[in-house]
Amino acid sequence: MQAQTQMPLPEEEESYDLINPSGNQYFLFLCDERLYGVDAVDVVEIIDLPKVTKVPLLAPEIVGVCSIRGTMVGVIDLRKRMGITGGKLPKRQALAIVKREYESKTYYMGLIIDEIYEVDGLEETGFSQTPLFGAMVDPRFVKHMAKYDQMDVVILNLESVLDIKELSRVYTRPDIQKQERRQKSVKQQQSRRVVQRQEEQDDEDEIDIIKLIASSSNDLNQYLIFEGPDRQYYAKNVSKIEEIVALADLDIARNYDQSIVAGTANIRGEMLTLLNFDVWLGAKEGDAHRYNEVLILHYAGHKFGLVVRSTVMIAGIDPEQMQENSNSDSKANFITKVDMEGKKVLCTVVDSDQIVRDSFKEEQRLADSHIDAIAESMQSDKLALFADDSRLIRSLFEKTADRLGIRYEIYANGRELMDAIRRRNIEEIGLVVTDVEMPRMDGNRVLQELRSDERFDPVKVIVHTNMANDVLEKNLLDKGADAVVRKIDIQTLGKEIKKHMR
């Protein structure tokens, strides 16, 4: 039987296929030695509890987020959510992943459970405000009661348990202070309008948890912040990160030749190269005890581990707040500010393409050979406009365009690209090639602006990105891209330019 999911599990990780639910099939599990259940149709898969990255300011029952094969999953501590205090935690907990819909967006949430019990049909005994065994469960969370092997089962109402509006509250101050402030406004003003304005202000104190984990947004502007040398902060887009593992848990064949490669590790049955981030950056390697985690990255045709000091949080970064930096630092795409414990700190988003290029020399040789293999020049007098925030990729495109014999202009971000498009007569433009992850304006926004204005209908658009996966590729094509090419595939890029250039 197949698990009902498009998020494949890592090989060797213990997981459970679910019965194809029909009728009253339920997934049963233990929490604090009591039996609970949810509709089996809602459960995608169950895995061992993975490494979870904390997100600041979220409700206390939200442990954080984790990446399952590149898909972000919000992780809920079910004990805290249901108000269960005390009790002994098992040595090994599991994560039940459920798929939900909210305002036409699909997202995944993981419920931390103590033990998997069964998937089976149950005898429903009808709704009860209070569980028969007397557990203090919020009535909002109870869908109804059931019997299984003479045991009472609380069937949870996931609509309430995973109430996004409630879970999106920001906890910069205790809720009681909000309530006191609200009551004070009522007493002093005796005005419904004042109370309404205060409530609106409180509603602004929310984190968009859906934006953080929604698969439809595909995590394009979500970044994992981690610490580098000299207490500097760096960021990687979460779409490139499959998971985070503890360095201490890995058996590593170490490399001592002072290169970028720290060694090789067997991670879930795969032998992966581990790169030391500090050394790649050009800093001196720190003491071994300073490195705690490994980011498992998968993009540009490579899967490898990046050894870092420690991860800090996941944060949304608006492209408008990014400052292009690749001209002054070959290993940085842009810099920005992130809110860390109430303080704005500088953060550098590293050039992911450059990491691959520096670490896998075969990649550089192949790219150069594919450029050299372009034999035919194109017969076109029109202009190709190209945008990418990576200095490396801009250089590769320049060589490719020269080999093709086409006219071109190159820009470092989407805003400059759109300004150039608007300045020109549409008949001059033969093709637009854009990256997705860029400062000031990303490729998604470029595509949206081009396809929302009928004047630009004749312009063909190729999206060139190392963030491409099946979900993102379909999303980009649905938005009007004529082709999606994954980096660094110069051979395919050359073919698509020939195909779509007017």
Residue 12 three-state SS: coil
Residue 319 has pLDDT above 60, yes or no: yes
**The residue to which tokens 């002072």 are assigned:** 258
| Containing structural domain, residue 451 | 375-500
Tell me whether residue 10 is in a domain. no
Backbone angles phi, psi at 185, to 5 degrees: -65, -40
Q: What is the pLDDT of residue 375?
A: 64
Report the amino acid identity of residue 251.
D
196 and 161 assigned to the same domain: no
Q: What is the pLDDT of residue 72?
A: 75
**Token reading at 228:** 């580098």
- pLDDT-derived band at 117 (thresholds 50, 70, 90) equals confident
329 and 233 assigned to the same domain: yes
Distance from CA of residue 320 to its chain's centroid?
Answer: 19
Share of the chain above pLDDT 90, in %: 23
294 and 313 assigned to the same domain: yes
Residue 94 has pLDDT above 60, yes or no: yes
406 and 442 assigned to the same domain: yes
**The residue to which tokens 């009808």 are assigned:** 126
Residue 81 has pLDDT above 90, yes or no: no
Whose CA is closest to 50, among 28, 30, 73?
A: 73
438 and 394 assigned to the same domain: yes
Q: What is the pLDDT of residue 189?
A: 46
406 and 278 assigned to the same domain: no
Tell me whether residue 368 is in a domain. no
Residue 162 has pLDDT above 70, yes or no: yes
Tell me whether residue 491 is in a domain. yes
Residue 378 has pLDDT above 80, yes or no: no
Q: What is the DSSP letter of 13?
A: S
- pLDDT-derived band at 223 (thresholds 50, 70, 90) equals confident
**The residue to which tokens 């990105």 are assigned:** 465
Pick the residue with more confidence: 414 or 121?
A: 414
**The residue to which tokens 């997100």 are assigned:** 55
Report d(CA 383, CA 385) in Å as an integer.
6
Tell me whether residue 19 is in a domain. no
pLDDT, mean of residues 93-102? 86
Residue 15 has pLDDT above 70, yes or no: no
Q: What is the pLDDT of residue 212?
A: 55
325 and 264 assigned to the same domain: yes
Q: What is the pLDDT of residue 210?
A: 56
Q: pLDDT digits over 165-194, tens only?
A: 777 664 433 343 444 444 444 444 444 444
Helix H, strand E, coil C: the string for 416-436 is HHHHHHHHCCHHHEEEEEECC
Tell me whether residue 210 is in a domain. no
Q: pLDDT digits over 28-43, tens only?
A: 888 888 888 888 888 8
409 and 482 assigned to the same domain: yes
Whose CA is closest to 65, among 47, 53, 79?
A: 53
Tell me whether residue 228 is in a domain. yes
154 and 283 assigned to the same domain: no
**Strand order across the beta sheet in which 71-77 lies:** 43-48, 94-102, 105-113, 71-77, 62-68
Q: At what angle do helices 192-204 and 175-189 cross, to 10 degrees?
A: 160
Count Cβ neighbours within 10 Å for each residue of 185-210 and write b for 16 or more, e otherwise.
beeeeeeeeeeeebeeebeeeebebb
Q: For residue 22, with 0-12 CB atoms within 10 Å meaning exposed, 13-18 middle and 19 or more buried, which class applies?
A: exposed
Distances (CA, A) of 299 to 322, 468, 486: 22, 8, 9
Q: What is the pLDDT of residue 414?
A: 92
Angle at 329 between CA 394 and CA 432, to 5 degrees: 20
Residue 56 three-state SS: coil
Report d(CA 355, CA 350) in Å as an integer.
8
Q: Quickly list DSSP for 285-336.
A: P--GGG--EEEEEEETTEEEEEEESEEEEEEE--GGG-EE-TTT-TTEEEEE
- pLDDT-derived band at 266 (thresholds 50, 70, 90) equals very high
Residues 6+ apart with CB under 8 A from 397: 386, 388, 408, 410, 433, 464, 493
CB 216 within 8 A of CB 106: yes
- pLDDT-derived band at 134 (thresholds 50, 70, 90) equals very low
pTM score, whole prediction: 0.61
Pick the residue with more confidence: 406 or 20?
A: 406
Q: What is the pLDDT of residue 306?
A: 95
Q: What is the pLDDT of residue 11?
A: 39
pLDDT, mean of residues 491-495? 89
Q: What is the pLDDT of residue 220?
A: 62
Q: Cα torsion at 17, 19, 21, 23 (round to 10°)? A: -160
Q: Quickly list DSSP for 226-267.
A: EE-GGG-EEEEEGGGEEEEEEGGG--EEE--SSSSEEEEEEE
Bridge partners of 344? 339
32 and 125 assigned to the same domain: yes
Q: What is the pLDDT of residue 314?
A: 79
What does the chain come to in residues? 502
Q: pLDDT digits over 411-469, tens only?
A: 999 999 999 999 999 999 999 999 998 888 989 899 999 999 999 999 999 999 887 56
CB 26 within 8 A of CB 39: yes
Q: What is the pLDDT of residue 484?
A: 94
Report d(CA 347, CA 245) in Å as an integer.
22
* Domain termination residue (choose one: 329, 358, 387): 358
Tell me whether residue 2 is in a domain. no
Tell me whether residue 7 is in a domain. no
Q: What is the pLDDT of residue 154?
A: 86
Report d(CA 197, CA 203) in Å as an integer.
10
Summary mean pLDDT of the chain: 77
Q: What is the pLDDT of residue 190?
A: 42
Give the number of domains in the chain: 4
432 and 314 assigned to the same domain: no
328 and 413 assigned to the same domain: no
**Residue 162 belongs to domain with CATH number:** 2.40.50.180
